[in-house]
Amino acid sequence: GAIQFVSNFWRCFLLRSSIKKDWFMAFSLGSILGTSIATFLISHIVRLEYASILIAFMILYTLFKPKKMPSIKISTRGFGFVGVLIGFGSMFLGATGLILGAFFADSGEKKNTIVATQASMQTFNHGLKVLGYMYLGFNFFPWITLMVLMMLATILGTSYGVKLLSKVSEDIFLKIYKAILFFSALKLVSDFLQL
């Protein structure tokens, strides 16, 4: 969560002019609620065994739904509910970025807006996740050297990725974005089958 916080923060900082602020604000309010509920319940709920397969089906539905079926297209207010879902799920799962990505796949937004807005949402959510685990007593100190090295590496990688983004057409970006979601969904299904 801490490494992802830095990675997404740097990405949304570099693309800050493209963030859809109304979506971000709605998501953030929902994320606070979802993370608070999960932090409260975490001593009772250790694992959500079927969460990965639900995420995979949501992604696959978004990518391959029949034309007559409704798209997952979210309004500004809807991102508040998405925030609750992501905030709650992020305390248990490492794949919430994939869930969030599914809501952007059919958004009709430009590549910079998709990347910047998703990064801003994930920055906020990962920050809450770190605070939630600190509240629950997780000790980051034994991992601090490795974390700092990974944070520096992710800043370099993210900077290079944002430069590459400017060289990719909107059409190619969307194809790559959906391909990543597809292969991530397959990985989630594979992990579920091994439970």
pLDDT tens for each residue of 36-47? 888 777 656 555
Tell me, what's the pLDDT at 119?
93
Tell me, what's the pLDDT at 45?
57
Q: Would you say 173 and 167 are in contact if contact means Cβ atoms under 8 Å apart?
A: no
Tell me, what's the pLDDT at 96?
74
pLDDT in tens, 120-137: 999 998 888 888 888 878
Q: Could you identify the residue written with the tokens 């520096």?
A: 152
pTM (2 decimals)? 0.77
Closest C-alpha to 8, from 100, 75, 78, 132: 100
Torsion of CA 23, 1, 148, 160, to 10 degrees: -50
Tell me, what's the pLDDT at 50?
61
Tell me, what's the pLDDT at 74?
77
What is the average per-residue pLDDT within 24-52?
Answer: 77
Asked whether the predicted pLDDT for residue 48 surpasses 60, the reply is no
On average, the pLDDT of the chain sits at: 83
Range of 26-30, 94-98, 163-167 with top mean pLDDT: 26-30
Lookup: tokens for 61: 């539905």
At residue 180, what is the residue type?
A: I
- Kindly indicate the confidence band of residue 67, based on its pLDDT and cuts at 50, 70 and 90: low
- Kindly indicate the confidence band of residue 34, based on its pLDDT and cuts at 50, 70 and 90: confident
Tell me, what's the pLDDT at 150?
94
Q: Would you say 151 and 1 are in contact if contact means Cβ atoms under 8 Å apart?
A: no
